[in-house]
Structure formats: C-alpha cells, structure tokens
Amino acid sequence: MKWISTGKKSNTSQEGEGSVLTSNSERPLGEGEGSVQRGSVPVASSSTARDECRDSIIAYVHKVSESRRNKRNTMDYSTMVLQTSSDKQLSALIYSKTKRKLLVDSERSRTPVKLQRFTYTSDGSKVIINDMTKISSPQPTEYSFQFEEVASNDEEKRTAVREIIENFNEGDLMSIHGKVVGVAEPAVTKSRGLKVASALFADETGKIELDLWEDHISAVEVGRVYTISPVQVRRWLGKKKVSTVVSSIIRAEVMDECLSAIPLATEEEVREGSGSTTLTIRSFQCVEKVESYLQCRKCSRRILQAMGTLVVRCDRCGYSMRTVDCPVRRYASVVMEVTDGSPVHVTVFNDVLEKLVPECKNLSDGEVEEVLLLMENVTITYDSETYIVLNAVTTK
C-alpha cells in the first residue's frame, strides 16, 4: 500500500454522505482509485494551504444523481460514480452546481474527465468535488481504458422531470419514473398513419408532456405509477416534452406516498400540456440576483469555468476562443407576489430581459436590478412548471 503524506492534521465535518476531509491528511492510496496521477497540482505554501488533493483522477462519469439536501439541512449535494479503469470505480460527492452540469454533460457524451484539486471524505472512501475542483478533458495518451457500463439499480438511473426540462437537450434518452396524471384521446399522424396520444407525466419535481405511440398507449392507465425506459426528449412549439420510442419498456410500479399526493390533471390541462400562467403585478417584490455570464461562440451555451483570462475554453463543446469575442448574456432571478399574497420565484433569461429592460446591454448587473425593482404594472407570462418567464411587458 502506498501513502500520501502532506504532514497536516485533518479537520472533519459531517456533511452529505460522509465526513468531508477539509484538509490534506495522511491517507492510503488504495485499490479502486484507478488512473491516479501524482504531482499534477502544485502544492500551496503552508500559509496559503488549500483543502485540495495533490492527485489527479481520469475517469468516465456514471450515475450523476439529482441534487439532495444533506442531513444537517445546510447544503445540497449529488452523488456519482467515477469509472477509473476498465473494472474499478470510485464513489464521489458533488457540492458544486456548476461542476455538476459539466459532469452531467460528460456522462451523456460518454467522454472522460480529468479531475484536479479535489478532496476525500475522512475515511478516504469518496471523492469530494466542490467549486475549487478543476474539471478538464484528458489527452488520449493519459488513459488507456474505454467506457464500461456500471451496474446500477433502476432508481439510480431515473431522471427527474425538472432535470429533463432544465438540463437535457432534444434527442437525449433517459428513464423516467412517475405518475400518469392525464391522457388525451389518441390521434393518427397524417404522414405515417401512426397512433399517438398526448399524456401528462408527473413526479415530485414537476410535470412534462409525454407522447405515447402505438401499443404504448394501451400500456398505461391514468392515476398509476410507471417506470418508462427509454424516452426521448423532443421539442414542440418551443417547449420540451418526452416521447416513447420503439424500444421503450413500460413497467407498472407500486404507488408511493409522494406520488399519491399528486392530483390528476383536468381535461384542459391535458390539452394544453404543462401550461403557462399570465398575470399582471404592481411591481416585483424583490430581486434575488442579476448575473452576467459568457456564452460560447460555438455551442451557444454558458461557459461554466470562465477564469478571467484572455482565452477561455468551453467545457461543453471543447472549443477555445478569445474571451473578448464571447457574447455576454445575463439572467435575473426575481420574486413576485400573486393575488393570494404568496411569493412566486421566476427566472428571466437574456432574451426576455432585454425586452423588459431595453437598455440592459449598457447597464451593470446592479443597475439592471434597480430598474427591475422600480418597474410598475408588469404583465408576466411564465411556464407553470419551470417558472421560466416566457414574456414580460410593462403596461401604462
């Protein structure tokens, strides 16, 4: 057994699924850590020592879970499995929402990642990934193993509705588990003469429209719980939905307490899908934040690890570009009060924000925040499930 000794005592705290090693301590480098390279991260001096490991890990990402709350109710975290060789895996905890997005992308594309500046739980059994962790793409010469399926149970493979709406792209495949809360009358497509029925599918995180094709229509009943695998993300009239495919398997499941509390949809809700809500407010109650970010010129997605350098690399598509050439986009998280007095948290993305605040491009984040708070008589249309603003105008 090899040992890594940094000569510093450890300080542990109970968070998530284990005790997080918040300092570099003497720790065995045991079996199961696969492609681990030593000395790839510079060590800070004792006066500026950071809680980071001196190793780097190259691995394929598997089974990134939904975010969940830790036992002390102080922070959110996710779990995942790192495949570090053809037959070895490491468990990991993710404490960074930004890094989680990159890891989800890596899992979908089945491309390996190189992790640096990470820590371990106090027992050394799990890798800790936080905001300080560096995630990059390894060179082909740095690893010699291929992606292998990691055995898991059905629950770990399931994808939540909110995760599909917020993070998945058209064409992506996944498994879903939830309740069928409504099914419309089947129709026949003009092009191929196939039967399709539009349904509403719900879990604890939201609702999404589900297209059921041919024999899949008779395989479900309204009010029952199913696991459907796989389904494919589609987009219709600007909104995401999922659809069964030829290989889809629909399996009836036992109703649990959370899903039993989800009400069935009305006929109108089934016809309109998850739907949208429009209301006029006197003013915004408060602004949670206004944040600017760089947009990749190649894939048009947010650059998650912008480092303030002259050249930036997009971790989603892998392209590098001059920072000054990247468009700056902005979004706002605001709170408005509806007619019954309850607060509603919505997100206004760049396209709608520029319509609502025409001079937005020339203002700082703080100035945009001020303009939003001083607005009056605003008509807002937002998605009833994702709470993303679809349109917003001020009225005289």
Q: What are the tokens at 144? A: 């010699």
Q: How far apart are CA 176 and CA 170, in angstroms?
A: 16
pLDDT higher than 90, residue 372: yes
For 154-205, how does the pLDDT look when each residue is reduced to its tens digit (9 = 90+)? 444 688 898 888 888 888 888 999 999 999 888 887 667 889 999 999 998 8
The yes-or-no answer to whether 2-142 and 154-274 have a common fold is yes
Q: How far apart are CA 15 and CA 1, in angstroms?
A: 28
Instruction: Specify which of 18-22, 220-224, 340-344 reaches the highest per-range mean pLDDT.
Output: 220-224
pTM: 0.44
In the predicted model, what is the mean pLDDT of residues 200-223?
Answer: 93
pLDDT higher than 60, residue 49: no
What would the 3-class secondary structure string for 232-258 be? EEEEECCEEEEEEEEEEEEEEECCCHH
For 313-364, how does the pLDDT look when each residue is reduced to its tens digit (9 = 90+)? 888 788 999 999 999 999 999 999 876 677 888 999 998 999 999 999 899 9
Instruction: Specify which of 88-102, 177-191, 302-316 reaches the highest per-range mean pLDDT.
Output: 88-102
Q: What is the CATH number of domain 2-142?
A: 2.40.50.140
Is residue 93 within 8 Å of residue 77, measured between CB atoms? yes
Q: How far apart are CA 170 and CA 168, in angstroms?
A: 7
In this predicted structure, what is the pLDDT of residue 219? 94
In this predicted structure, what is the pLDDT of residue 275? 59
Q: How far apart are CA 90 and CA 37, in angstroms?
A: 15
pLDDT higher than 80, residue 34: no
For 113-160, how does the pLDDT look when each residue is reduced to its tens digit (9 = 90+)? 999 999 998 888 899 999 999 999 999 999 999 998 775 544 446 888
In this predicted structure, what is the pLDDT of residue 151? 59
Q: Which CATH superfamily is domain 154-274 in?
A: Nucleic acid-binding proteins (2.40.50.140)
Q: Which of 121, 112, 4 is nearest to 58 (CA)?
A: 112
In the predicted model, what is the mean pLDDT of residues 296-309?
Answer: 83
In this predicted structure, what is the pLDDT of residue 122? 86
In this predicted structure, what is the pLDDT of residue 339? 65
* Per-residue pLDDT band at 60 (split at 50, 70, 90): very high
CA distances to 147, 203, 286, 375, 388 from 345, in Å: 40, 20, 10, 17, 9
Q: How far apart are CA 258 and CA 203, in angstroms?
A: 8
Instruction: Specify which of 74-88, 151-165, 261-275, 302-316 reaches the highest per-range mean pLDDT.
Output: 74-88
Is residue 383 within 8 Å of residue 344, measured between CB atoms? no
pLDDT higher than 50, residue 233: yes
Domain spans in the chain, listed from the N-terminal domain onward: 2-142, 154-274, 279-394
In this predicted structure, what is the pLDDT of residue 271? 67
Give, in degrees to the nearest 5, the angle at Cα 104 between 98 and 110: 140
